[in-house]
Structures are given as C-alpha cells and as structure tokens.
C-alpha cells in the first residue's frame, strides 16, 4: 500500500478516535499531499463535513486540480463525487466499496478514473463502525 492511502487511513483512525466516522481522505498533487481530512459530521454537527469535503477544505484554494489524485478510505458518495467532478479531479483511489458502493458509476461517467483497492483494513474499519453504530451510519448516508 502506498504512503497516500496510509495517510488516508491515518485520517480515518484519527476521526474514529475523535468519536466520529472512520473515513479519511488525502488530496495529492505533484506527488505531495496538499490536503487531508476526515469525516467530521459528528464532531462538527455538520452533515456535509464528509472526509473528502474536509480534505478539499483543508487543501484550500490550490487554483487548478489538474493532475490531482483524491484518495479516500471509502468509495465517495454522491456529495463527494459531485465535488470531484465539479473541481475536475480526474483520478480517485478508494480503499474499499464493499461496505458502501458510493457513486463510482457517476464519477466514471464524468471521465474520472476510479480505482478500488478493496483493502481489508478499510473494510474492517467500516464494518466495525456500521455494526456498532448503525443509526449514525444510516444518518450519514441519508437512510
């Protein structure tokens, strides 16, 4: 596993330690992390602070997203996939999509290359969270 997915996993674990949902994300440009974040919906009481959104906010105004890669421990949902498409991010690498299929087809239909690594560690983090906190997870995905 590469350093960037490891950084996203670290973010997910940090979010869980804060009492939140264990999803992390990093944005990479020119081989360097320019933004990182984790799901803070519970911590901030903000329904749109998903990991990818937190990551993009923390990256700040980088001007152009050409050549960037977004890493996420979970396949991005439609909210986050919309941000990917809106900003012209052309590659997303997800840790897993078994616990949540996300919006892969939406991104692909808009020219985004999507790679699903199917990582056991990412799947286990989400499975454990979903099993112990089904009401919080269902709220996060709009169920």
Whether 52 is a known active-site residue: answer yes
Rounded to two decimals, the pTM is: 0.96
User: Can you spell out the DSSP letters for 25-69?
Assistant: EEEEETTEEEEEEE--HHHHT-TT--HHHHHHHHH---S--TT-E
**Is the predicted pLDDT of residue 113 greater than 70, yes or no?**
yes
Active-site hit among 3, 18, 52, 135: 52
Mean pLDDT of the chain: 95
Q: What domains can you pick out in the chain, each with its CATH number?
A: 3-141 (3.40.140.10)
């Amino acid at each position: 596993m590469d350093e960037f997915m490891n950084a996203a996993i670290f973010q997910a674990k940090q979010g869980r330690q804060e009492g939140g949902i264990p999803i992390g994300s990093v944005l990479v440009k020119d081989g360097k992390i320019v933004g990182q974040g984790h799901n803070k919906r519970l911590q901030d009481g903000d329904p749109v602070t998903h990991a990818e959104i937190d990551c993009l906010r923390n990256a700040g105004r980088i001007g152009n997203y050409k050549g960037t890669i977004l890493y996420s421990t979970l396949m991005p949902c439609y909210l986050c996939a919309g941000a990917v498409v809106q900003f012209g991010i052309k590659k997303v690498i997800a840790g897993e999509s078994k616990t949540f299929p996300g919006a892969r087809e939406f991104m692909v239909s808009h020219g985004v290359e999507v790679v699903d690594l199917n990582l056991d560690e990412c799947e286990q983090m989400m499975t454990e969270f979903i099993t112990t906190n089904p009401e919080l997870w269902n709220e996060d995905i709009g169920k």
